Amino acid sequence: MSLVVVGSLAYDAVETPHGKVDRMLGGACTYISLAASYFTPVSIVGVVGDDFAEEDERFLASRRIDLEGMERAPGKTFFWSGVYSQDMNDRTTLATDLNVFASFSPKLPAGYKSKPYLFLGNIQPELQRSVRGQMNGVRLVGGDTMNYWIRDHRAELLKTIGEWDFLLINDGEARMLSGEYNLKRAARAILEMGPKTVIIKRGEYGALLFHGSNTFSAPGYLLDSLFDPTGAGDCFAGGFMGYLAGRNIDLSDPATDAKELSRAVIYGSVMGSFCCEQFGVDRFRTLTRAEIDQRYQEFKSLTDF
Amino acid sequence: MSLVVVGSLAYDAVETPHGKVDRMLGGACTYISLAASYFTPVSIVGVVGDDFAEEDERFLASRRIDLEGMERAPGKTFFWSGVYSQDMNDRTTLATDLNVFASFSPKLPAGYKSKPYLFLGNIQPELQRSVRGQMNGVRLVGGDTMNYWIRDHRAELLKTIGEWDFLLINDGEARMLSGEYNLKRAARAILEMGPKTVIIKRGEYGALLFHGSNTFSAPGYLLDSLFDPTGAGDCFAGGFMGYLAGRNIDLSDPATDAKELSRAVIYGSVMGSFCCEQFGVDRFRTLTRAEIDQRYQEFKSLTDF
């Protein structure tokens, strides 16, 4: 069923030990919707500048992503630039030019408002909440956040995630939000803030899912070569949410198989792993659903005992 | 079937955020054999000083560990002292007094030489090799090493592990030994050095097993509270090797189920997780086989999707 994704559309400049790209399509909304598009129809909400290339728009449309909610504003598209360390576990931001994204105020096209699935990428918590408020009868809503909102906009963030079905967060952010170092305790504390499910991303070490009293641990995929990790966390989000939407999962229905959430985490991991194999979104220019399902099976054999 | 374990017997002084113990039973051989004793009969080879307490000897014997190969030498038992960081991911060594361990030259009692399973704890590679040479018709042999031997005794180490069925190593050591940062490539390089199986320990993130073209990823167990990680890696080794010996596994027999190695990794993870729940070896004073099997089932549900 149809999924609405809200977040940044951007151009990135990236340097990894494998090379350098001066300008490539990026942004959380881009990665999330590309990954999700393999599982379900996706409609995006975001803003681009007048420099946004027609070929990039065509690429998103070629993945059947609905661009009606993509606003064009005078000025430049959000631009981020960074350099990864030799082992790619750290990155240094060289530039963050918000440009048209600075005054982004997401407005949902009328046709989006009754869609059942909503993923709120990392933007100001008050904007995430305003989008949630524009939707009618959403079945499943969740999203992402970051250290800045946790530290400096805590009250607003807590009000926002209190209305979500799930929160996706990395390990450092989970510790910061909960004040607990131990991830099991951190997850428990976050579940008490409102979300019924929390997914903690641990980079190359995989991800943890906490849902009620259930815990699931997904391994990191062992890549032959990590080419460019930019967007991997967002592709995880896209695979996770795309799978749930594609399967029409309703977590409030007691008949729903709780294992579907675990499978969604594995599809998230699959999409994150593909993302790292080429620069930026390039892997999604050739990736097929058959390759995705084959890697899902690899996760099966990687964890079976 | 019977397992011989060679390594250090020691006293430790440990400080963690949970408290401080001035003198507790420790040493790799101690932890490995205690963990393995839940799965198979264990015979140890090691050296202690004249300060080795009778109650510690009684405790090992109470786990039906054969102490015939435990040599008593004049002087003091190996002593190690360390302090853990607040998050327990780092530890600082305050003292390493080798004492009687400095001149340890393992001699196997006659009755040990025909036992089928041998685990060589982290000691000088040439001593590990001499023990291997004293055994007749050993069915499965493997062991552990550390950064010091990799860096400063590389040639001797390569000769030693070239005769092993498996090598157990942590991620940092695997990278150092192979010269590869990527763990998949590191494992491949190590497999070319001789061992048919390599197990890479990743602390709280679990462990990876590489065997031929098979890869298995075991999650880290999510402890409610990490009390004292001292000995966890050795207990992993004990659970891993103990399970293989207890099941009478012969990896050279083509009929052997390769999944047994994965199950051994899970039992290793189970034993490592229990070890962290109390100071030193204390958890093994009350731990039962039923608790072990229950935690094994928890690993099943933690990874099932």
- pLDDT per residue over B8-23, tens digit each? 999 999 999 999 999 9
Phi then psi for residue A65, to 5 deg, are -85, 130
* Residue in A with minimal Cα distance to B260: A305
Write the residue in A182, A220, A263 that is nearest to B305 by C-beta.
Answer: A263
Average pLDDT over residues B238-258: 95
Q: Tell me: pLDDT of A82 over 90.
A: yes
Please name which of B138, B139, B162 lies closest in space to residue B250, comparing C-alpha atoms: B139
Write the residue in A87, A182, A217 that is nearest to B303 by C-beta.
Answer: A217
pLDDT cut 90: percent of chain A above it: 94
Q: Tell me: pLDDT of A225 over 90.
A: no
A89 pLDDT band, cuts 50/70/90, is confident
Average pLDDT over residues A80-109: 94
Q: Tell me: pLDDT of B225 over 90.
A: no
B197 pLDDT band, cuts 50/70/90, is very high
Write the residue in A185, A206, A305 that is nearest to B266 by C-beta.
Answer: A305
Residue A182 has a pLDDT of 93
Residue B89 has a pLDDT of 84
**CB B7, CB B48: distance < 8 Å:** no
Q: Tell me: pLDDT of A188 over 90.
A: yes
> Which residues of B fall below an 8 Å CB-CB distance to A?
86-87, 181-185, 202, 205-206, 208, 214-220, 222-226, 259, 262-263, 265-266, 299-305
ipTM above 0.95 for this complex: no
CA distances from B248 to A286, B41, B137, B252 (A): 48, 12, 14, 12
Shortest distance between the Cα of A174 and any Cα of chain B, in A, equals 15
Mean pLDDT of chain A: 96
The radius of gyration of chain B's CA atoms, rounded to the nearest angstrom, is 18
Residue A36 has a pLDDT of 98
CA–CA gap between residue B87 and residue B77 (Å, rounded): 30
**The pTM is what?**
0.95
* Residue in A with minimal Cα distance to B220: A217
Phi-psi category of B19—alpha, beta or left, where left has phi over 0 and alpha has psi -120 to 50?
Answer: left
DSSP per-residue letters across A157-200: HHHHHTT-SEEEEEHHHHHHHHS-SSHHHHHHHHHTTS-SEEEE
Residues in CB range of A196: below 8 A, 6 or more apart = A165, A166, A211, A212, A251
**CB A235, CB A34: distance < 8 Å:** yes
Q: Tell me: pLDDT of B1 over 90.
A: no
Q: Tell me: pLDDT of A215 over 90.
A: yes
Report how many Cβ contacts below 8 Å link chain A to chain B: 81
Question: Where would I find the beta strands (DSSP E) of chain A?
Answer: 3-6, 10-16, 19-26, 42-48, 65-72, 78-84, 91-97, 117-120, 140-144, 166-170, 197-201, 207-211, 214-218
* CB-based contact A216 B303, cutoff 8 Å: yes
Phi-psi category of A203—alpha, beta or left, where left has phi over 0 and alpha has psi -120 to 50?
Answer: left
* CB-based contact B216 A305, cutoff 8 Å: yes
What is the SS3 assignment for B110? helix
Residue A46 has a pLDDT of 98
Q: Quote the tokens at residue B138.
A: 């050993």
- At position B253, the amino acid (one-letter code) is D
Chain B interface disruption, residue of A185, A217, A269, most B CBs within 10 A: A217
Q: Tell me: pLDDT of B209 over 90.
A: yes
Residue B87 has a pLDDT of 85
Residues in CB range of B238: below 8 A, 6 or more apart = B5, B31, B32, B33, B34, B35, B36, B37, B119, B268, B271
Write the residue in B183, B225, B301 that is nearest to A222 by C-beta.
Answer: B183
CA–CA gap between residue A219 and residue A208 (Å, rounded): 9
Shortest distance between the Cα of A200 and any Cα of chain B, in A, equals 13
Please name which of A127, A158, A153, A128 lies closest in space to residue A143, comparing C-alpha atoms: A128
Q: Tell me: pLDDT of B142 over 90.
A: yes
Q: Tell me: pLDDT of B123 over 90.
A: yes
Shortest distance between the Cα of A268 and any Cα of chain B, in A, equals 13
Residues in CB range of B158: below 8 A, 6 or more apart = B193, B194
Residue A208 has a pLDDT of 98
Shortest distance between the Cα of B209 and any Cα of chain A, in A, equals 9
